[in-house]
Chains A and B, each alone.
Chain A
Amino acid sequence: MNALNSSSKKLVWLAIACVLVVNAAILGKVFFNRAEVVATLQLSERELQLPYNYGFQKEDSSKRVSLRWMVLDSSSDVFEPAGFGWSYDRRLALSDSHFSSFQFPACEQNHHPYDKKEGWVLLELNGQSYADFVARIKRNYEHLQTLQPETNTELSEKALQEKRAGAKESLNAANNTVSRLFVIDAAAERELLEASLRTRATTTNATLVIVPAELQADYNRCDDPKKKITAVRINNLAVESLYISNDFLQGITLDSESHFTANVHYGRLNEPWIADLKVCEKDC
């Protein structure tokens, strides 16, 4: 028999205490976060994307959804927003005070002007940014309707028709399937966003929430030292993937074709959770 010696026995108790104390701390943090709902977003399959069932996901019996969000770059002249329906372009122009709060290193002093930083972003659901986004797509669609083929050939006629069809599809998607969740502001400190939130006018339907995120200075920040570029790129929200509790999935099938709505609560620690999920036959 190789029993443990007295110092090893102490380590056993320490290991047990480690497991119990750390779990208690995590569950305590969860309880503290969820004890008060700071904001609620009513999202649908437009903003919550189910994972594609391939690779490792086939082995996972649980269900998660990812938050889909966009950035409307007001400084850009591009008629159709880049990253439409996707999230390739996440450039956001900021005010001087919000940009300087990140204390990005000066371009000439540091070889890391694009280091990623932790910060806070202001999310807007179904608000002015979404309205502007739809208006921009609509303008593009209407503009294309007024155009004539550049040269009177079958080829240019066909090219214009294709552009019009694309614009119609974009308008339809903007109205019905694209996410209405937009990142509209960012700062290094939460207090800065809270201050700007109080002064911000918004549409009646809009919901605003401040959440942590990972971001970096825009890639063209150091291109021209004379231009003062105060734009950032939003890489990720700190929590983008939301777990769907087994309780909401009893007796329902949830797949990429499903229509559903979910109430996503944000708690005291800005951590979200799905508080309710409802699957609908067609649009909810």
Chain B
Amino acid sequence: MNKISKTRAQARADQIRAFRAEQALLAEQGLLQLPAASATGIRAYHDNLLHELQQAQDIDLNEHSAHLSLGMQIVSFLGAAALAASLFFLFYQYWGYFSTVAQVAILIAAPLLGLAAAIVVKRFDASGYYAKLAALVSFVSWTLNIAMLGSIFNLTPSPNAFAVFALYGFLLAYMLQVRLLLAAAIICSFIFIGAKCGTWLGSYWIYVGERPEHFILPALLFFALPLWFKQENFHGFTGIYQILSVVVFFIALLILANWGSGSYLPWPPSVIEGIYQTLGFVCSALLVLYGLRTQKANLMLAGNIFFALFLFTKFFDWWWDWLPKYLFFLVIGLTAILALMVFNRLRKTQQTIAQQIAQQKTQEAGGQA
């Protein structure tokens, strides 16, 4: 079987399941009676295909297994966090008993051993969960490696540490398809780029978070990255890049929309807040439209949430002190109903377009026949 991403494999399996369910329903109502030979052939083909997809990408073949997979993801995340914490405290507990040479050797060996464990486990573990756990332990060992070398040798703190955390995180994430590590690497990149921007603009890098504008450019870059470099072979990576970037971008905008003093712009805070409020509304509305056009439900949802946040913070600014509380909440309730009506209208428009396309296809198919 050709190389296929987990996303596509799961989509194909879901399609086969839906086909079988609909076929059974139509057969029950006497609307579809396939010849026995064709039905057996299709069933054998699908069984074979599902088996191959399952072998290649460890997909879920029914709803129960999908629920279990989600449970396994949560458990493996908690397990990774606990293992990382355990490793961290283990280092500190026995750290003082080793000579400097032994400390350095242990620190360098730890991420490499974690990496070796991940590769070995990957050979025998079809689900990939254990290999991903080992990769997370390797990443934590790497951060400990850099942080503790800095501690032993009293090195001046540097933002470059976040660059090497990000580099190793990206390598492990792409090697073993670990979304959590991709998210960690992206966050480290945000900190590194933000800190470097802060240093170039004359402030001390440790206080990178005091100026939200540091994060706007990296957020836009990481949002656009999967558009330039297609992530089809990496399950869920595009979503991680874009959602994380969107969250960081809008949180930065939301802070600046309410705290203009945190900006580099040389204007009065009220003007800056006005600019960022407008930008927040425009960008979140554009994100909703982009999500609709590209059929990315998570981006559309994020756009909706941030649009609502911008709107409600503005309402709060304008009316919290001025209006009686029952009126304030009434206005919010009415706004929500208005938003519901707009979304309903959009939904109906989408459904009409989809129906027209379907009818057109049916007519074309009839014409060809």
Contacts and interface: CB of A to CB of B under 8 A. Distances in A.
Nearest to B172: A15
A61 B122 contact: no
B97 to A, nearest CB: 6
Nearest to A56: B92
A20 B168 CA distance: 12
Contacts of A205: none
A184 B94 CA distance: 40
B19 interface: no
- What is the predominant secondary structure among interface residues of chain A facing chain B? mixed
Interface of A: 1-4, 8, 11-12, 14-16, 18-20, 22-23, 26-27, 29-30, 56, 59-64, 103, 109-112, 115-118, 212, 214, 238-239, 241-243, 245-247, 249, 269-273
A22 B146 contact: yes
B93 interface: yes
A271 B175 contact: no
A118 B203 CA distance: 7
A265 to B, nearest CB: 10
10 contacts: A15-B171, A19-B108, A19-B145, A22-B146, A26-B149, A27-B104, A115-B202, A117-B202, A242-B154, A272-B154
B322 interface: no
Interface in B205-226: 205-207, 210
A59 to B, nearest CB: 5
Nearest to A10: B175
Contact of B145 (A23, A112, A115, A238): A23
B5 interface: no
Contact of A8 (B128, B142, B154, B175): B175
B313 to A, nearest CB: 20
A242 B150 CA distance: 11
A238 B157 contact: yes
Interface stretch (B21-29, B111-119, B241-249, B298-306): B111-119
Contact of B155 (A15, A30, A62): A30
Contacts of A241: 151, 154
The 6 closest A-B pairs by CB, nearest first: A61-B96, A62-B96, A11-B175, A116-B204, A15-B171, A111-B261
Contacts of A109: 266
B174 interface: yes
B98 interface: yes
Nearest to B268: A111
A117 to B, nearest CB: 6
A59 B88 CA distance: 10
A115 B201 CA distance: 11
A19 B168 contact: yes
A4 B120 CA distance: 10
